[in-house]
Amino acid sequence: MKKVSFLMFAMIASLLLVMTGCGKDKEVSTTGKESKEEGSDGKTLRIVTDANYAPFEFLEGDKIVGFDVDFIKAVAKEAGYDVKLESVGWDPIFVEIESKRADVAISAITVNDERRQTYDFSVPYFLSTNKILVPEKSDIKSGNELKGKVIAVQTGTTGQEAVEKLIGKNHKDIKKFENNNLAIQELLQGGAAAVVADNTVVEEYVKNNPDQKLKVVEDSKSFNEEFYGLMFPKGSELKSEFDKAVNAIYENGKYAEIYKEWFGTDPDIETLKAQQ
Ligand code: ARG
């Protein structure tokens, strides 16, 4: 069911983007979209995301859906909280958390040392790596072959960082976009030769849009393993409560259930736990 509606969403979304000519950040702006969940008598947490990153978080009509959405609802419920989820965009997530206006962020956020200086993170809940999205007929076979090509990325992501490592910081061939869908549109319109983003996102995109004739290039030498975490304001007391709740849903089967619903396979919980 979810698979089908996600496919339909992806098809309609790409159609709309093509029809509107896209390219302008505002056209897919999701600011203000909210969904409030009732479930326990606990306090309601304000949780922020960038709902432009299917299958983790994306809009189905006005509703924010995705693996991350089901995951955070399950974790919050386990910890005894209600969730008010809001799509504020990628860069604003960091501002909202640093200023403590939001309690938690979930947005396929990779935990890394630089971010750890400013924010706290939960234990890891997903294993990811960057991969290269290119047209089917592209001859790009590795990260090194991105040199001399125009590459589209989402600003401020580990995708941007990985490309900068390969071709140089602030290199003019890197086109940066406010969200990842815009980077993909740039590729489709021929304004870029490749997009670098999280594997699950580009793989799902290719699977759901066979007519667009794209493929994914893997290069484990150029791109490291990354782990997603929930992000909290530095010093937040929620961190330990949510760490416990994540581990509880690893143990009680809820995580595996959600994972299977979205990805059709069993998760490797041992690998995630080994990172704690
Ligand atoms: N995992 C990458 C990072 O943390 C990309 C995440 C982008 N997420 C999003 N919802 N747009 O930098």
pLDDT tens per residue, the chain (276 residues)?
444 555 555 554 444 444 433 332 323 333 444 555 555 567 999 999 999 999 999 999 999 999 999 999 999 999 999 999 999 999 999 999 999 999 999 999 999 999 999 999 999 999 999 999 999 999 999 999 999 999 999 999 999 999 999 999 999 999 999 999 999 999 999 999 999 999 999 999 999 999 999 999 999 999 999 999 999 999 999 999 999 999 999 999 999 999 999 999 999 999 999 999
Taking the centre of ligand 1 as the mean of its atom positions, its distance from the CA of residue 41, in whole angstroms, is: 31
Indicate whether residue 204 lines ligand 1 (CB < 6 A): no
pLDDT at 134: 98
The residues with which 216 forms a beta bridge, in sequence order, are 133
Looking at CATH, the fold of the domain delimited by 129-225 is given as D-Maltodextrin-Binding Protein; domain 2 (3.40.190)
The pLDDT value given to residue 20: 39
Q: Residue 121 has what pLDDT?
A: 98
CB 75 within 8 A of CB 38: no
Return d(Cα 248, Cα 254) in angstroms, integer.
Answer: 9
Distance 162 CA to ligand 1 centre (A): 13
Q: What is the pTM of this model?
A: 0.87
- pLDDT of res. 26: 28
The minimum-distance atom of ligand 1 relative to the CA of 90 is: 11
Instruction: Output the pLDDT for position 36.
Output: 52
Task: Give me the pLDDT at residue 42, please.
Answer: 78
Contact 151, 163 (CB under 8 A): yes
Considering the segment(s) 43-125+229-274 as one domain, its CATH architecture is 3-Layer(aba) Sandwich (3.40)
DSSP strand pairing (194-198 vs 225-228): unpaired
Minimum CA distance residue for ligand 1 atom 7: 108
Give the DSSP H or E segment for 78. helix 67-79
Domains 43-125+229-274 and 129-225 share a fold: yes
CB of 108 sitting under 6 A from ligand 1? yes
Does residue 222 line the site of ligand 1, with CB under 6 A?
no
Position 5 scores a pLDDT of: 55
Cβ of 53 closer than 6 Å to ligand 1, yes or no, is yes
Sign (positive or negative) of CA dihedral 262, 265, 268, 269: positive
Going from N- to C-terminal start, the domains of the chain cover 43-125+229-274, 129-225
Q: Which amino acid is at 95?
A: V
Q: Which atom of ligand 1 is nearest to the CA of 226?
A: 1
DSSP 186-236: HHHTTS-SEEEEEHHHHHHHHHH-GGG-EEEE--TTTS-EEEE--EEETT-
Q: How far is the CA of 212 from the centre of ligand 1 (A)?
A: 23
- At residue 221, the pLDDT reads 97
Structure token digits, residue 241: 């409560």
CA of residue 106 to ligand 1 center, whole Å:
9
CA–CA distance, 84 with 47 (Å, rounded to integer): 6
Q: Which ligand 1 atom minimizes the distance to the CA of 57? A: 10
Q: Which atom of ligand 1 is nearest to the CA of 107?
A: 10
The partner residues of 131 in beta bridges, in order of sequence, read 197
Angle at 25 between CA 20 and CA 27, to 5 degrees: 35
Ligand 1 atom closest to the CA of 180, numbered from 1: 11
